[in-house]
Structure 1
């Protein structure tokens, strides 16, 4: 018995380690996205997010102040300044006067220039160039240096994203699409699931088979026929083509098979004695559904609500087909696509935008996640 108990503890330990590894693998990309969104665009362009948490050394190229800023300190002319725009804790370790040898001198030492002048770069980034003759030209001399940069974060990316034109409206548009497209299929599927679970009528098994078969129908295959059908019906009743009603109905149709299947399994697992007792007391099927089944089915309803909301919120394809690209209908995923198209090199803006877009799904998931496992496992034993 002790051997079996030891094997059980070992097995549990392996399971816990495996779960921990899976959690880390899932959380790491999101954490990396968050760190990237808080980094300066210059740092993001030259190093990965994993380097942002520690002090890193980088080779940089700076430029001294122009000759117009020189000061005569007999018998030499002097140009001075600082390589760092602000005191962010960076420290110069080495510097050079040519790109072939950018680490030729230690910080704080003085290097001789070819024209008889000198250059000194101190650890704090301050520099001093001297020349026996006046400096000429319109641009300052290039300075090559290696510096150690501490972790640096900024909220500027989020300020730019949240203040950019159209983001706020797109956020509202996504909520306008996602909330009704989550509630409508739940309301319809709950009635259908109860009927398939506890009401006896001809063709019930066939109808359930059709629902299960619809689970494997690809969205891409049915999207255009559904749009054509909607437009044809809209012409008959005078309904405009590009409206929120169309995308609500589309998401309802695509979400119904999973909703009915999930809720039917859960409702079928409820104790039948409760239904029979209610019928003996004179309750109708509608009363049983509203007063007994619906309150007891909250875990399954919440589980489907998570899946449906995440799917609708992150959707781009259906929104592109059923909605226009105007600012009053463009959803958040569409706005991010436009940012990617017009500002493909500004990764700091894209990372901040992407993290803003996942805040609502994450909030929905964590608020309802306690129902998720209960809803998914419902009906796994009883059929």
Structure 2
């Protein structure tokens, strides 16, 4: 057995690999697969100075925002790390045709990209990006979500740029390059948070980050920049604006294995398909590239669904004698006659219709209950999915007559 399938076997525990693959196999490919690479490419080449005004910095609509991560079966890569929880901020990098670098922090070889705020799906929460550095800002050792003064700085030189009168790329370079030509560890970061009103606006401030990178030349090419987002809550993966799980094309087999592992883990946890993207970082003479490769996917969406519609109507309700909410669904005649392998397509429609409602949670458990209804209770007048029930494997859920214990 390959190392990848050993990873997937561990991921399949709980929800069950069979359901993970069956659900994903029926998802529409057009919505979130090949066009993702095109979207990333378009944004990479979009070198807009702003997104429509002085308070709309370029990262809201252009460039590729991503976070390098390490795959593990012990945690979800999209949940904030203990350090991010402690500091109140999460680190990202920003890649664009005029903001190039050829290495990732800590030798990461995979991670995830996020949708820009202007263009994100309706279900996705907005990340609150608060500051940006032309180079790695060593933000774990700073105050104020990683945007403030370094804890060992007695000069205040590393305080937010605008607060100490550093407003342009030229001022940033003249202040810091003579002291520290290769890193930004003791440099200031530019405030870009949408609730602030820095001199000349947040769009101007972020543009100085890009301008400083270009003036740094080879120094900038050899080291990633850094953006900080306010730390979000644990366990809300289905609300995060994750666009793709990427891996570096020249980083070896493990990079792809890890991206696949994250993709399968995310699907198992949230019920949402996110594509794996092969990314090549730019060099001095070549631009970055982004490719969707079907063979790279651990979860492979199909091109079309078996029925034009699976759910005729549905809604949240409670049943007499029970305090637990139930999503009561009336399937179409077509849905009552689909093969068990179509459970994924049915659940994708259910999630599209009800996933944004405040009652929605435990998609893994509801997916297992739905699969059970299709296999042993397809002709019931209503299919009732109860998110408060335990997320058991499909096999165990069938043994429980589609009704695992409440938790």
State the TM bucket, normalised to the shorter chain.
Answer: under 0.3
TM-score when normalising by structure 1: 0.22
Rg larger in 1 or in 2? 1
